[in-house]
A and B are shown apart, each in its own frame.
Chain A
Amino acid sequence: MMETLVYIALFAPFAGSLFAALFGMSKRQVFVGIVASALLFISFVASVMLAIYVVKTGTPIHVTMMEWINAGDIRIPFGFVVDQVSVTMMVVVTLVSTVVHIYSIGYMDHDKSFNRFFSYLSAFVFSMLVLVMSDNFLGLFIGWEGVGVCSWLLVGFWYHKPDQPREVNPSISPSWAANEAFIMNRIADLGMLIGIFIIYWNTGTLQYDEVFAQLPYLPQWILDAAAIALFIGAMGKSAQFPLHTWLTDAMEGPTPVSALIHAATMVTAGVFLVIRANPLFAMTPEVSFFIAALGTFVAFFAASMALVNRDLKRIIAFSTLSQLGYMFAAAGLGAYWIALFHLAAHAFFKALLFLGAGNVMHAMHDELDIFKMGGLKKVMKWTYLYMGIASLALAGIPPFAGFFSKDAIIETAFNEGTYVLWIILVVTAGMTAFYSFRQVFLTFLGDERYKALGIHPHEMYKFVLVAMSPLAVLAIIAGFFQPWFHEFITTLLPDYEMSHHTHELILVLTAIVLAFAVGGIVLAYKMYAKGLKRDPKVENSFIYRLLANQYYIPQLYEEMISKPYAMISEALWQKVDLKIVDATVDTIAKFFYHTGDGVRKMQTGNLSNYLNWMAVGGVALLVVAALSAVIG
């Protein structure tokens, strides 16, 4: 019974994807979206039922679907495991995916590739579920690659948009952004593959439980190497510095894609990997500390770039980057359950934020510049409400979900004695509050700058708003489940409790963080609630321009990496491929041709000549026979 549920949960999105693919070339059919969303809802129900089972009995479900690789000593089956960690991820993924699917029915209603969109979206959910539910590293890698491909397909969904120079569009074009995302992920996947190889080579298996059982017997440097390699893979998927530029460029894709992939699911795959492989990372404290430090740095770095950005979706993308940094900080410091909790809560309110931004975009006919919006709360009350809730959750204001999850991370930093990390995280919390509310106020309050552009916005369809409501509810109440979640998940994950010393100071610590957060909101209110006031002196200052251009890192990558690589490729093509490889093949062909041409002269048409040749051959064979009889 449980096995059937596992298969249903896993393959219902796949069935939806195939069904939608049948209509990929036809024009928009609403029922395609409805069927895909219904199948996803079935998957969600199955995941919830599995979750209830795991909660009640506390035992994970192991399912082996079929043997995959069975060669010599290698045995890698297609197996799935539903334990506390994976069932949490399953519920989060399927819930957000269902909401996003229903949302897309409304959002993509004017798009002529409607059916194709649902096919890709469901395929993505299937790959993500494979990633989450797999019980060995190779199955995880398959899901990893699958989500990479689907992300490429979805970010480049409007592939017909032409390339534009970087000043006009920092992401150049959707297909360019899709390529960038995929290639950056590929570079990181090399690290992941090396990690998998190291693990296999030293343990002889790729099943999680068997690998973790053998870890204590491996030398330390092997563990460090495997941990570093796996983390490089996580860096690509979760867009940590320096592989972070693809995440903001991926906003070229449709908004539901950003909501699902680049907020809730794909980018959290890296964090999921660290959580899954926590026995490995627990045994490599230096690597874990590096992860935590990098995560903190990214949190601050991304928040700084969001402070001055004008693009609605890009601000939210930076905030995703920042929150991923928080998750890695928690995982790096050993508080795996806290990282998972923040992952789940963040998925809810970040998806809500993105979907709200999608509402705004849909109303404003795909206009993204918040300097051109303003005062939208008069026309879009519900969206304003949703985005307000989500931003409050993001900023970490109690009693919303973000307060419980983010605060736990910041307390962990304090608890570990890494005060530098703690300070940076606290300041970042303030920055987070500032930029999220800067965005909300500039969009919804103040003067109505859009009127000058002749746009007439209206609220999104009712059914879409209804579909977004579960996310809003969860963004509000999810925090209260923290103690229950703590107990549930630590049956599998290692527990992390704050020390007694931290417990005493907890009120002080919470007050400091709240002060920063509320201060950020107040500052944003003072600066932007009354309307946009632009100051050319500030906008042209060095720091402002540095932040607005993402520290010029994309340009740096282009100059230092892309251009030299292109030059090398061109040179190799001219010198090696054309001159050596092609020349070799051509020479072989020419050789055969000329040989044939020469031998053709043997055909004189003269019977006597042919008889000559026959006799020569016959006599030769005779001589050979005689000689071999003599010798042999």
Chain B
Amino acid sequence: MYETIAFYLFSALTIGLFLITVMSKNVLYAMTSLAAGMVLISGFFFILGADFLGVVQLIVYVGAIMALYSFAMMFFDATRDIKERNTNSALVFALGGLSALVLVLMFAAPIYSENIKALYPMHESIGNAQDVGIVLFTKYLVPFEVAAVMLLVAMIAGIILAGKKMDQSLTEDLSADDEILTTKDAK
């Protein structure tokens, strides 16, 4: 029963918050509702028994990604409303509505599946974190490492793209160079 209540509550809140994200003219409102929505999604994960995933969602999405967006928001005057040109609302809502309808209809039909064998079955005795750890570091090791490299590359790219005066060194003391050069010329 708790599950039912939690599910409906979370879904209603999530849908509402994401609607605000998408429709609002104010950057601050949009961002805040996005963060809140992500927290609620983490709640979904906890309902579904994916503890580790939920915690990762909180840390990475809410903690890191939303922080990044907050820094990006510094480009705007938070009090002013964003003026957006009139898009073709009818087409947009028609597309969205149609896709929603089709998908919902597709998923509403009960899914019959016989003899689906789980590839990496869950073990109830050990916790979810342990389970995930076992699979992640044995079967999914290579994607894991590749993802790590990708994150490294993204970090470097982010630094380079955003940094200023990148051709000058930040660590060396440049004044010493000038002194050496002038003493050389004097000799």
Q: Do chains A and B touch in the complex (CB under 8 A)?
A: yes
User: Could you say which residues of chain A place their CB within 8 Å of the CB of B56?
Assistant: none
B161 at the interface (CB under 8 A from A): no
Q: Contact at A619–B87, with CB atoms within 8 Å?
A: no
Q: Which residue of A lies closest to B99 (CB)?
A: A619
Interchain CB contact (< 8 A) of B98 among A608, A612, A623, A629? A623
**Chain A residue with minimal CB distance to B84?**
A608
Q: Does A576 contact B (CB under 8 A)?
A: no
Q: Which of B59-100 contact A (CB under 8 A)?
A: 87, 91-92, 95, 98-99
A619 and B106 in contact (CB under 8 A), knowing A608-B87, A612-B91?
A: no
Beta-carbon nearest neighbor of A629 in chain B: B106
Please indicate the chain B residues that have their CB under 8 angstroms from the CB of A626 in the complex: 102, 105-106
B119 at interface (Cβ–Cβ under 8 A)? no
Q: Is the CB of A619 within 8 A of B105?
A: no
Q: Is the CB of B95 within 8 A of A615?
A: yes
Interface of chain B residues 99 through 121 with chain A (CB within 8 A):
99, 102-103, 105-106
Residue count of chain A within 8 Å CB distance of chain B: 10
A581 within 8 A of B: no
User: What size tier do the contact residues of chain B reach?
Assistant: 10 to 19
Q: Is the interface of A mostly helix, strand, loop or mixed?
A: helix
Complex contacts, B102 vs chain A, CB 8 Å: 619, 622-623, 626
Question: In the complex, A626 Cα to B98 Cα: how many Å?
Answer: 12
Residue of A615, A616, A619 most packed against chain B (CB within 10 A): A619
Chain B residue contacts of A629, Cβ below 8 A: 106
One digit per residue, 1 when the CB lies within 8 angstroms of any chain B CB and 0 when it does not, for chain A 609-625 equals 00010011011001100
Q: With A and B bound together, what is the CA distance between A210 and B99 in angstroms? A: 76
Q: Which of B91, B98, B103 has the most CB of A within 10 A?
A: B98
Please name all residues of chain A whose beta carbon is closer than 8 Å to the beta carbon of B95 when the two chains form the complex: 612, 615-616, 619
Chain A residues near B105: list those with CB within 8 A.
626
Q: Which residues of B contact A623 (CB under 8 A)?
A: 98, 102
Q: Would you call A622 and B103 a contact (CB within 8 A)? A: yes
User: Which residues of B are found within 8 Å of A615, using beta-carbon distances?
Assistant: 95, 99
B101 to chain A, nearest CB (A): 9
B residues in contact with A618, CB < 8 Å:
99
Q: A619-B98, A622-B102, A626-B102 are known; give 14 further A-B pairs, CB within 8 A.
A: A608-B87, A612-B91, A612-B92, A615-B95, A615-B99, A616-B95, A619-B95, A619-B99, A619-B102, A622-B99, A622-B103, A623-B98, A623-B102, A629-B106
A-B contact pairs, 12 of them (CB 8 A): A608-B87, A612-B92, A615-B95, A618-B99, A619-B95, A619-B98, A619-B99, A622-B103, A623-B102, A626-B102, A626-B106, A629-B106
